[in-house]
Chains A and B, each alone.
Chain A
Amino acid sequence: MDALTLFGIFVLLPLVGALVSYFGKKYAPIIAVIFTGISGIFLYLWYGNFGSYTIDIGVKLNLTFDITTWFFMLMMNTVIFSSLLFSVSSKLKRAGGFATLMLLGFAGANGVLLARDFLSLYLFWELMSWSIYLLVLRTSGEYARRYLLFGVLSAYLLIMGIGIIYYYTGSFLYADALSGAIPHAIWPWILTFLILGFGIKMAIVPFHVWAPYAYSSEQPFVAFLSGGLSKLGAFGIFMSMYSIAGISLLQSFGTFRGVSLMGYPFALLGAATAFIGTILAIFQDDIRKLLAYSSIGQLGYVMIGLGLGTPLAIGGAMFHAFNHAFFKSLLFLGAGAVIYRTGKYKISEMGGLGYRMPFTFMFVLFAIFALAGIPLTSGFISKWMLYEAAISRKFVIVAPLMLIASVGAYLYSYRILYGVFLGQLKDEDKNVKEAPGPMLAAMFILMVPLVIFSIVPGWILGWINKILVENGIGKLNYTTFSYSSAIGGANMAVFWIAFILLLIFAMLMFMAKKARVVDQYDNYLAGEAPPSVALHAAHNYYKPLRDTWAPLLKHSIDRAYEKFSKFFAGGFYEIKRIYTGNPQDYAAYLGIAFLAFLLVGWWLLW
């Protein structure tokens, strides 16, 4: 493998695919699926075939294909493959543009993952950024604008960090940053800029306000955005903290219970994100917004892990990022399937669809298991790692927030399950059919790893361990089926065997007698039903809880931003008055400028 092959398969191929699929009209998603499939196959074949390369397009792009990149590419590739597969049957308007932009975003994401110098990082970062912008623009211009503003804010924070590094080292290479040219006291600035810059893409509080809006776009895209692209933030933070700066440099800023003081505040920020995201998710009635806030909360967990920076914590963050990539895109696709079939977004307007769409329901159920951390999926293991990482170092602020946020996740998970899939089937949905084949296939692909890695966590922990070892962070304790920390551990083989045996026992007891299926009205209304009675209790579901939170929910970060922007826009109109439109004034400006310039020049001379 040489530089051009690597670059060609992972960046140029999607770019070519983007160009080709634009003209594919109706078949554009299929073409795009094929293109992502090809790079997926190569990704699989090239595991272990790692190395560093340089591409010269006038500026030098330094690319490295290593285990970290591979691991994140694996998520990215699977998620976009399934999302595009899903979109094959979702009858999008202007499918050509959709596929093109998805592939552009994919190319950008791959580029970010491969990049090992700041120029290519920034280049691909922005490429990804604007293709997302245009994808959001397909649904709503105002949402897109919010996204773009935060997107460029993120990019400019990165620029600040990159610029400071460049000032001291005169080089864009990651590897040169640690050459010692940068004074010790400058590093916190650099890291803060970089982490916040990447954190915006992860929708870290208080930079999360773009997410609920952007995530209300077309579901196949949102699955990729939330599942795939938001992981680039995690990747970027990981790279800047543990590859560019390195663990020993972080530790040199002082430690608190073995955790760098540079990382700990970000862990707190992550904990706040997890908590706020979860609480807000509970109160959403729009399924897309609910999933968006949930996404914010879950990425808070990743941030916690990256901030704490012990091997277990980073491993947990990586694993959680991986899980989140799969279960959140699965959830968005599941929501997409439901929306595709019913055309509704509001949870309270749906209901009972699980009886009509059993496969979709099962897939979503597994995703929710993973989201809530039920041990039947790998979602548990990553949360376990993060908890144990915090508890074993006795972090008494981070740990409870994380734990209670996880309980909150049960609440909103059930809101989806009950509101959408259970309860009363609406009359107008009586004829809803199961989602089409490609959609189910896409969801199935995403579900498989969640279950497999729950039974055999050793496989994925092996990759993660390799990442940790390669970056000199440490290593994890694990075997094929079990994993342990300093204070505990669990064996998934034992768990699964016990679970299956006991479930079989329960099933035996249950199977003893046959049950008869009766209509819903038979019990509740004693069979005395008029043709239709609304019995779905999903409207305003957590109202009592919401009432208790109302005084706090009044303060919204959203509105703070709006006030902020209004204030500035008002100022802009004041400044505008300089351009009076009167040529006499303008001539006066010229004279003043001349004098000022002259005086400054002479003053300097003197």
Chain B
Amino acid sequence: MVTDWLIHAGLVALYLFLAMVIGLLFMGIARKITARIQNRVGPPIYQNFLDLGKLLAKKTNIKHNWIFDFAPLFGLGGVLLILAYLPMGGYIMLSGQGDLILLLYILAIPALGFALGSGASGNPNAGVGVMRALTLMLSYEMPFLIVILSLMIFYNTASLSVLLQKQMNYLWGIAALPISALAADIALQGMMAEKPFDIPIAPHEIASGPLVEFGGKYLGLLMLYSAGSIVVETSLFVDLFLGGGIVLNPTVYGTLAYFVNYLVWLALIFVVWMIAIFVNAVFPRFRIEQAFKFYWKWPTVIAIAGLVQAYVMSVFLGVVP
């Protein structure tokens, strides 16, 4: 019993570590690809590992006050917590112990910690950045929450692990609810704060917004936070719509299934990430009120259409996945 728990915990730690590595790698890939699209050479793919090493090794670390520490603490701790609740490659980790609603609210923990820390820096750019981030959040959550609602009422579950199970047995979300998947992907762009929605960061306007005052180990840990966030966001989409990458049933194929599923999941989140990066590379930036208007208009309409589809299928047509 105790050994089971320990093995489980060890596996979770391994998955979390891998997720961080993947996140950093993805950041490097994104830089490279963006550079190529824009006809530059770009840094090497492993550049972000070097950056992280440098930042964590810095001798001078400055802070303004004790609340400043909230950002790295809650940022890193929180993002790891989210990852632990998010199935990766069919390995459900803690998500049997907490459903999608819990996950949605855990998503706020690192963000809130980050916002507290950057607010405590007293830099107006940070304040403006967080304001934009929160406004953007209100914007993209509208379609995104409706999409999640469609999934929940269509699959009749709020639990991610059950959702994966049902997608495996029935149809992937993207096949069953394609309209919602479209809305979700648009929302995802905002969630990842990639162009045209990189308004909270906006390096040229507000000097990276919330990040402006962080340096040294603070910035290093926050970099880990962003790396983790990339995996969280892409993986969330994969888990919701692409069956979590499960192609082999773990109860039948055992350990092999976990390997294969993990690789498929990796490929899928890479695809989702690439879509975001390509869009990012070619778009200019919205203003925040444009982003708000945009999200509450078209993606919301699409999401509502998806909701209607889900509602009709589950309530009137009696489709039970």
Contacts and interface: CB of A to CB of B under 8 A. Distances in A.
A247 to B, nearest CB: 23
B288 interface: yes
Contacts of B127: 418, 423, 536-538
A156 B28 CA distance: 68
Contacts, number: 240
A45 interface: no
B40 interface: no
A512 B158 CA distance: 40
Contacts of A387: 101, 158
A174 interface: no
B275 interface: no
Nearest to A485: B158
B69 A510 contact: yes
B123 A375 contact: no
A515 B61 contact: yes
B270 interface: no
B98 A507 contact: no
Contacts of B84: 498, 502
Given A375-B105, A495-B98, A498-B84, A487 B216 contact: no
Interface stretch (A409-417, A564-572, A582-590): A409-417
Interface residues of A, number: 76
A520 interface: yes
Given A422-B119, A490-B97, A510-B73, A544 B289 contact: yes
A506 B80 contact: yes
B135 A542 contact: yes
B319 interface: no
A604 interface: no
A513 B97 contact: no
Interface SS of chain B: helix, strand, loop or mixed?
helix
A509 B76 CA distance: 9
Contacts of B97: 482, 490-491, 494-495
B305 to A, nearest CB: 12
B149 A422 contact: no
Given A394-B311, A414-B134, A423-B122, A505 B80 contact: yes
A556 interface: no
A386 to B, nearest CB: 10
B142 A404 contact: yes
A595 B156 CA distance: 74
Interface residues of B, number: 81
Interface in A343-398: 352, 354-355, 358, 361, 365, 372-376, 380, 383-384, 387-388, 391-392, 394, 396
B282 to A, nearest CB: 25
B108 interface: yes
Contacts of A374: 105, 108-109, 112
A424 interface: yes
A545 B138 contact: yes
Contacts of A417: 115-116, 119
B268 interface: no
Interface in B41-79: 56, 58-67, 69, 72-78
A517 B62 contact: yes
A388 B101 contact: yes
B62 A522 contact: yes
A479 to B, nearest CB: 12
B102 interface: yes
7 closest A-B pairs by CB:
A488-B99, A488-B158, A537-B127, A422-B119, A506-B77, A515-B61, A537-B124
Interface of B: 56, 58-67, 69, 72-78, 80-81, 84-85, 94, 97-102, 105-106, 108-109, 112, 115-116, 119-128, 130-132, 134-135, 137-138, 141-142, 145-146, 149, 152-153, 156-159, 162, 212-213, 216-218, 221, 287-289, 292-293, 307, 311, 314-315
Given A355-B65, A513-B56, A515-B216, 7 more contacts: A394-B315, A422-B67, A423-B119, A423-B120, A488-B159, A520-B122, A523-B121
29 contacts: A361-B67, A375-B102, A392-B156, A404-B142, A407-B137, A410-B138, A411-B135, A411-B138, A423-B119, A487-B156, A488-B157, A490-B102, A491-B98, A494-B97, A495-B102, A498-B81, A498-B84, A503-B77, A505-B80, A515-B218, A516-B60, A524-B124, A535-B122, A537-B124, A537-B131, A544-B132, A544-B287, A544-B288, A545-B289
